[in-house]
């Protein structure tokens, strides 16, 4: 096929692909580490990593090797049979989280669907099907399937798709009192993100997750942590919940788990996972051998180098320090926040123009909730790349200040 220019490819995309995404004008052709290249060979520094999916940047050699090796042995098995990578990945995930079992799927939304179904099934098999309601948080994002959309606390996600799946109550994030008032005899579970990524990297108080654990225990509820964005080292610990010392009953993962390969997982304690039995739930592609091999490479890298997570915390704090200096300098920066290499900068102006100016200068960042710049670089980002990021973003913020 004839090699096309970026402009030709974008025109072709607009002709044949549904317009459900507000794409930036960049065609990615190749990627290596924190760098990507367009068809014309222009280099970009990637500080969003496919929205925290490319854990170690683009084409990380151990992941490429794992995918290549497994692809030459067995690409798909279905869940009619056992396959080695799926078994080994499940074993490793349990070793790194808590005693329980894993259900594999293909995405974060599917992991949330599985968690919602398991929470309801848990009470149903105990002859208490009247407990089906799930408390989730305003501003939350749990995916775009009907279950995930209904659980999400953002009207923009569900407007035009009503009626939604019944049985969800939304309460304020970081508000324990409101969560307690929402509990009734129908409540089955509390669903929460340890950090709200899509809302703009909103970090709760240090006692919030423990307060939700206590609330769930007092009322016999299940506690579900959505770590689809915060999991796998992103916040400087293997999982964000581990910083709180609180163990959930159900944990959902995706994004960084495959380091670029599509995979999702739901982990549930032994008390809870027994509600799922043969035929309760399933996924044709879930636990695909190639994706699971990539997941094993991700976990091996995260756990074999003790300095990796420390470096993630160090560089994240370095970037936040710079953000705080900019906040003093530029009155349009409302708040800066984050944990590890997941950071947000809330503005008093629209963020999209800043994203596009950064793109022109060869820096990829993201804007969420219209006024929050979101940053999620590779966990292997270097000091030199952080310095370049600060140089480019700083120059763009100066332009905005002067305009």
**Catalytically annotated residues:** 141, 226, 255
Q: Is 304 exposed, middle or buried (0-12, 13-18, 19+ CB in 10 A)?
A: exposed
Nearest to 269 by CA among 239, 293, 249: 249
| Residue 57 CB contacts under 8 Å (≥ 6 apart), including other chains | 31, 32, 33, 34, 35, 46, 49, 378, 380, 381
Sole residue written with tokens 């990637």: 46
CA distance 205 to 208: 5
Residue reference for tokens 């991700």? 298
Q: Judge residue 135's burial from the number of C-beta atoms within 10 Å of its C-beta, 0-12 exposed, 13-18 middle, 19 or more buried.
A: buried
Q: Which segments within 109-186 are labelled E, that is strand?
A: 133-137, 168-171
Residue 196, SS3?
strand
- Do β-strands 363-364 and 43-46 pair in parallel, antiparallel, or remain unpaired? parallel
């Amino acid at each position: 096929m004839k090699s096309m220019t970026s402009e030709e490819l974008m025109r072709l995309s607009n002709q044949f692909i549904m317009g459900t995404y507000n794409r930036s004008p960049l065609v990615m052709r190749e990627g290596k580490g924190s760098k990507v290249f367009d068809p014309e060979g222009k280099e970009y520094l990637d500080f969003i990593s496919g929205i925290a999916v490319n854990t170690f940047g683009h084409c990380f050699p151990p992941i490429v090797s794992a995918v290549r090796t497994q692809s030459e042995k067995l690409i798909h098995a279905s869940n009619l049979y056992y396959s080695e990578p799926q078994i080994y990945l499940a074993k490793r995930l349990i070793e790194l989280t808590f005693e329980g079992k894993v259900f594999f799927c293909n995405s974060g939304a599917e992991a949330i669907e599985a968690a919602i179904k398991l929470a309801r099934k848990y009470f149903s098999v105990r002859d208490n099907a009247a407990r089906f309601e799930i408390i989730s948080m305003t501003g939350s994002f749990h995916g775009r399937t009907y279950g995930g959309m209904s659980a999400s606390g953002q009207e923009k996600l569900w407007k035009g798709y009503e009626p939604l799946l019944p049985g969800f109550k939304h309460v304020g994030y970081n508000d324990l009192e409101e969560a307690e008032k929402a509990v009734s005899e129908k409540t089955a579970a509390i669903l929460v993100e340890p950090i709200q990524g899509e809302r703009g990297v909103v970090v709760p108080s240090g006692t919030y997750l423990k307060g939700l654990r206590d609330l769930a225990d007092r009322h016999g509820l299940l506690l579900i942590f959505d770590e689809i964005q915060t999991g796998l080292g992103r916040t400087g610990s293997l999982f964000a919940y581990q910083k709180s010392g609180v163990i959930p009953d159900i944990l959902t993962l995706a994004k960084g788990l495959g380091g670029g390969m599509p995979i999702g997982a739901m982990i549930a304690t032994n008390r809870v996972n027994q509600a799922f039995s043969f035929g309760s739930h399933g996924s044709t592609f879930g636990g695909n051998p190639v994706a699971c091999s990539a997941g094993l490479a991700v976990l091996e890298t995260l756990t074999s180098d003790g300095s990796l997570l420390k470096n993630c915390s160090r560089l994240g704090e370095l970037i936040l320090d710079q953000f705080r200096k900019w906040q003093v300098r530029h009155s349009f920066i409302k708040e800066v926040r984050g944990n590890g290499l997941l950071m947000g900068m809330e503005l008093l102006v629209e963020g999209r123009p800043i994203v596009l100016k950064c793109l022109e200068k060869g820096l990829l960042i993201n804007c969420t909730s219209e006024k929050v710049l979101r940053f999620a670089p590779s966990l292997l980002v270097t000091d030199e790349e952080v310095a370049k990021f600060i140089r480019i973003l700083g120059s763009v913020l100066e332009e905005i200040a002067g305009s």
